[in-house]
Structure 1
Amino acid sequence: MTAVATERDRVLDALGAVRDPELDEPITTLGFVSTCVVSAAGDVVVRLRLPTYFCAPNFAFLMVADAYDAVTALPWVRTADVALEDHFAATQINAGVAARAGFAGSFAGEAAGELDELRRTFVRKAVLAGTDVVCRPLVAAGIDPVECTIGDVSPSVDLDRLLRRRAELGLPTGPDAPLLVDVGTGAAISPADAARHLGLARLTRTGIEANTGICRGMLRHRYAEAGAGEEELG
């Protein structure tokens, strides 16, 4: 493998940490990275695409900005050209990300503010969805999740993912922390509220999975070719 090929893999690995905020899946496995080109000098060109021309500009901005940050964080990268294509707000998004202007600066006079709370809202949903994924095997085994701590759950990829999302919100992640917590406050869910909480978690997971399937289908209809890194990471 050549040095350039190795560096390209490193860029794709970095982009694999960038998630669609609504779907909570990497933009690489979703096929949102259309091309990734790396020169021997460390110049990186990344092009992103989305399922439709009218995907929400706030979601799109978050992904482009996060992708830019992920690429430029690599110490050997000399220049980074990260841009969104085939989107109605691509010009504003690309210019704003390149200028580090933030969402409000990129959409001056149109945006009410930055997107921090929107991002937290989707992380809360990811925590709920992850809670359902982790709790379903417990319920199937006759174990009541409301009585469990993190330490009571067998280690797994799903548990690791849930704990990472909880950490992003500052929610407890230690072995003695309750498995079921309020995503806003981090307080333990009471036995009286457990059924409602688990029901909300299940609905959140199924909603995210349904939206993910729709987006994958729309992207495949729009673009026949696989995205850069999709074969390796998907």
Structure 2
Amino acid sequence: MSRHGVPTEAAATSDVREVLRTVAERALDEPLAAHDFVDLVSVTDDGDLEVHLRLPRSGVPRSLACLVVSDARDALADLPWSRVVTVALDGHGDSADINAVLAVEAGAGRYAGGRVVTPDLAGLQRSFRREAHVAAAERCLAALARRRPWHDSTPPGDVVLGDLLPGRHLAALLRRRRALGLPNHPTALVLADPDVSAP
């Protein structure tokens, strides 16, 4: 354990694998850690964490692969000792593009390999943002249904942001709504179409 409370690299790797057991690999509907998808973990004494993932096959669609890596980054950011979290995808046919888009989404402008992001990836970025928004909304609605069974009778299309439970799932949804230009006030519908302007 470092003076900043950061575990050794071996302990950090164990923490990472444990956290990623909760992250669904959407194309296979299996946990990320189940098939040794964690390729590399490095951590600094200050808690900067870099994780490389490798999906079991290269044919996973780009937008879904983006979503897997983004979900992993969200989950790892909850580690109490982590400061800056970087997650990159290795071994996918579109790894360079996926890592570039995710770096831009994280506000980094670079991905873990250090390459400056220059390609025009607007189409992939739009697709990723839409997929990420839908996934975040589904997680929030599922959490609401589990915690407040009486709410089950309300059609999902009528649930508003103010109904949702606070926490990291809601924070992720609000962040992804901002990226799409969707409203984040408490009376805004959770299930919103980014292509339809909402009040």
TM interval, short-chain normalised? 0.5 to 0.7
Q: 1:22 to 1:38 in 2, by over 3 A?
A: same
Find the aligned partners of 1:72 and 1:177 in 2 and give their Cα distance.
30
Q: 1:172 to 1:73 in 2, by over 3 A?
A: closer
Match of 1:78 among 79, 83, 90: 83
- Which residue does the alignment assign to 1:36? 41
The code of the aligned residue for 2:50 comes to V
- Which residue does the alignment assign to 1:45? 50
Asked whether the equivalents of residues 68 and 97 of structure 1 are also in contact (C-alpha less than 8 Å), the reply is: no
Identity of counterpart residues, as a percentage? 33
Does the alignment pair 1:62 with 2:67? yes
- The alpha carbon displacement at 1:51 in A equals 2.1
TM-score (norm 1): 0.46
Pairing 1:1-234 to 2, within 5 Å after superposition: 3-4=7-8, 5-100=10-105, 107-109=121-123, 111=126, 114-116=130-132, 119=135, 167-168=142-143, 170-171=144-145
Larger RCO of the pair (alpha carbons < 8 Å, separation 6+): 1
Find the aligned partners of 1:47 and 1:23 in 2 and give their Cα distance.
19
The code of the aligned residue for 2:130 comes to E
Mind listing any 5+ residue stretches in structure 1 that lack a counterpart? Answer: 124-163, 186-234
Map Cα deviations across residues 76-95 of structure 1 (whole Å, 9 max, x no partner).
Answer: 22333311011122112111
Find the aligned partners of 2:84 and 2:151 in 1 and give their Cα distance.
43
Q: 1:81 to 1:167 in 2, by over 3 A?
A: closer
Find the aligned partners of 1:120 and 1:42 in 2 and give their Cα distance.
26
- The alpha carbon displacement at 1:54 in A equals 2.4
Asked whether the equivalents of residues 141 and 156 of structure 2 are also in contact (C-alpha less than 8 Å), the reply is: no
SS at match of 2:17: helix
Map Cα deviations across residues 173-207 of structure 1 (whole Å, 9 max, x no partner).
Answer: 667899xx9x978xxxxxxxxxxxxxxxxxxxxxx
Find the aligned partners of 1:108 and 1:176 in 2 and give their Cα distance.
41
Asked whether the equivalents of residues 21 and 119 of structure 1 are also in contact (C-alpha less than 8 Å), the reply is: no
Q: 1:8 to 1:15 in 2, by over 3 A?
A: same
Asked whether the equivalents of residues 47 and 84 of structure 1 are also in contact (C-alpha less than 8 Å), the reply is: yes
Find the aligned partners of 1:101 and 1:74 in 2 and give their Cα distance.
17
Structure with the bigger percentage of helix: 1
Deviates more, 1:6-15 or 1:56-65: 6-15
Mind listing any 5+ residue stretches in structure 2 that lack a counterpart? Answer: 108-119, 158-199
Alignment root-mean-square deviation, CA? 3.8
Find the aligned partners of 2:54 and 2:85 in 1 and give their Cα distance.
17
